[in-house]
Structure 1
Amino acid sequence: MKLQRLMVVIDAEHQQQPALQRAVEVARETGAALHLLQVEYHPSLESGLLDSRLLDRARETIVRQSCEALRTSVAHLSAEGLQIEVDVRWGKRRHEEILSRVAVLQPDILFKSTHPSSALRRLLFSDTSWQLIRRCPVPLWLVHDAESRGKRLCAALDPLHSADKPAALDHQLIRTSQALQAALGVQAEYLHAQAPLPRSLLFDAEVAQEYEDYVTQCSREHRQAFDKLIAQHAIDRAQAHLQEGFAEEVIPRFVREHNIGLLVMGAIARGHLDSLLIGHTAERVLERVECDLLVIKPERKG
């Protein structure tokens, strides 16, 4: 993973900018350039009742003033020696404007602050963070709080691909975690949560009698797959953790108990209809963890 260009979404409606703070921390360690993107939009300036030229001038004025204000707010970082580019644009659909700039700039990481959002907003796809989890093609670093929770990161792995993701994605998560460990001086941990089919779902008496054998075999398969994956990357056994339970329960608990500051997870897209479910585990985990989340998509072939 390269760390040369970092793109940061600036939330104009919030005074605090956790994503910017985290990106600055990474840039100080790596020398990466920062591209700050702020998307402005005011419904009142979309009215068809006003002269289009006046509306255009009003929008241009807002963009220019916001750009000047943003440049002033980060002047101390430029004076520090950080390479910073400021970009303010007008856009009704914020996530689409962000994705458009990502496609052009191809940043190594996109940083975005997270803010509480209701289940209804997620259902209606109105929250930018959830749209980016589903659609952002580059690593997406969602920053939970300006103050980092710890100097450790955790990669959530799935060596048996129960989430129907490509095997290569686990290797990608590990390589990304190792790169961040080397570049940022953080300790990387590797976690796999495995949960056998609950006994309560087995209604056939004959099958139920074989349940213990099934659990033993299931655990053995997960252990073998996890050990094989870890061995391919020369990871210290002390950094590899196989725990029993559902991912949405095991991962948040592990994050709390091990003082994890960054959780690295994979997400996939399988088609138009399935896009409703992309990042499903990541979404449930994000609601329960109090650390940053780095979402990785499979590398594009060709």
Structure 2
Amino acid sequence: MKLEKLLVVIDASQPSHPALERAAWLVRRTQAQLHVVLVEYSAALDGSMLENSLQNRARDALLEQRGNWLQELLAPLQTEGLHVQQDVRWGKRLHETVLEVAEQLKPDLVLKSAAHNNLLRRLLLTDSCWQLMRHCPFPLWLVHHAEWRGNNICTAVDPLHKDDKPAALDHHLISTSQALSTALGMHADIVHCHAPLPRTLLNNTELLATYQQYVNDDAQQHHQAFDKLVRDHQIAPDAAHLLEGAPENMLPRFVRKHEIDLLVMGAIARGRLDTILIGHTAERLLESVDCDLLVVKLPAEK
């Protein structure tokens, strides 16, 4: 994974900008170029109530005001010598405008702050976060508002591909996290969670009689697949973790226990329903981790 061009999404309505802080941290370690985009929109300036020329002048004035504000925000980074460019655009749907910028820029990484709730430590994902996860072809780093240590990366894999993930995705995830680990000096772990069907879901007498054998066979399958993945990537035994239990329960615990700063997960789009599958997890998992989240897809075939 290269780290030469970073795209950061800024929300002027927020009091703090963790995504910009994270991007600056990355740039200091990689000498990457930083492109900062601010998307502005006002419904009052997007109707037919104003005469067109007046409406356009009002929009231009608002964008100029936001541009001046953004320039002040970025001034310390530029003084520090970091390569920073700013981009202020008008857009009704933030994710669509960000995707337009990303398509033009072809960044190695897109960074965006997640929503923030002072009463909760968890990662709160807004609609624009979910839309970017669905549609952004570039790695998407969703930044938590919690304290950043910058020490540990954890990659969640699914070697049996039970959620229809292509086998290549796990290999791509591990290669991505290993490249980040090398470039940023972070320790990298790999984790896989598995859980057999609960006995309570089985109402067939024959199935219940062989339940323990099913549990043993299921565990063996996961062990063999995970061990092969670990061997293929020459991962140290103490960095490979096979956890028994539902991922929505086990992964947040692992993140807290091992002080994970960045959780790397794979994403695939599914069919015409425009839904997304993040590994084999659900929304409740994504919003319960106490760390940044990096969503990675397989590169598009050329």
TM-score strictly above 0.5: yes
Contact residue 150 and residue 259 of structure 1 kept, 8 A? no
- List 4+ stretches of structure 1 deviating above 4 A: none
Q: Which residue type is aligned with residue 4 of structure 1?
A: E
* Paired position in structure 2 for 1:96: 96
Contact residue 267 and residue 276 of structure 2 kept, 8 A? no
CA distance in 2, matches of 1:141, 1:272: 25
* Paired position in structure 1 for 2:277: 278
**Structure 2 CA distance for partners of 1:299 and 1:170, relative to 1, 3 Å:** same
Mapping of residues 186-225 of structure 1, within 5 Å: 186-225=186-225
* Paired position in structure 2 for 1:26: 26
Contact residue 153 and residue 263 of structure 2 kept, 8 A? yes
* Paired position in structure 2 for 1:121: none
Gaps of 5+ in 1: 118-124
* Paired position in structure 1 for 2:121: none
Q: Which residue type is aligned with residue 244 of structure 2?
A: E
Say yes or no: does 1:42 pair with 2:53.
Answer: no
Contact residue 114 and residue 126 of structure 2 kept, 8 A? no
CA distance in 2, matches of 1:282, 1:207: 28
Q: Which residue type is aligned with residue 285 of structure 1?
A: L
Shift of 1:189: 0.4
Shift of 1:67: 1.0
Could you list the per-position Cα deviations for residues 258-281 of structure 1 after superposition, in whole angstroms to 9, with x for gaps in the alignment? 0000000001012221x2343372
* Paired position in structure 2 for 1:227: 227
Say yes or no: does 1:52 pair with 2:52.
Answer: yes
Contact residue 268 and residue 276 of structure 2 kept, 8 A? no
Mapping of residues 260-275 of structure 1, within 5 Å: 260-273=260-273, 275=274
Mapping of residues 1-302 of structure 1, within 5 Å: 1-116=1-116, 127-145=127-145, 147-149=147-149, 151-273=151-273, 275-279=274-278, 281=281, 283-302=283-302
Residue correspondences, number: 294
Could you list the per-position Cα deviations for residues 14-61 of structure 1 after superposition, in whole angstroms to 9, with x for gaps in the alignment? 020000000100000000010000000011101202101111111111
TM-score by length of 1: 0.94
Shift of 1:284: 2.6
CA distance in 1, matches of 2:100, 2:52: 25
TM-score by length of 2: 0.94
CA distance in 1, matches of 2:63, 2:146: 26
CA distance in 2, matches of 1:289, 1:44: 37
Contact residue 265 and residue 282 of structure 1 kept, 8 A? no
Shift of 1:283: 2.9
Contact residue 146 and residue 290 of structure 2 kept, 8 A? no
CA distance in 2, matches of 1:126, 1:53: 34
Measured on the aligned residues, the alpha-carbon RMSD in Å equals 1.5
Q: Which residue type is aligned with residue 277 of structure 2?
A: I
CA distance in 1, matches of 2:229, 2:235: 9
Q: Which residue type is aligned with residue 232 of structure 1?
A: D
* Paired position in structure 2 for 1:122: none
CA distance in 2, matches of 1:154, 1:229: 15
CA distance in 2, matches of 1:84, 1:277: 32
CA distance in 1, matches of 2:197, 2:149: 34
Contact residue 169 and residue 266 of structure 2 kept, 8 A? yes
SS of corresponding position for 1:191: strand
Residue identity (%): 51
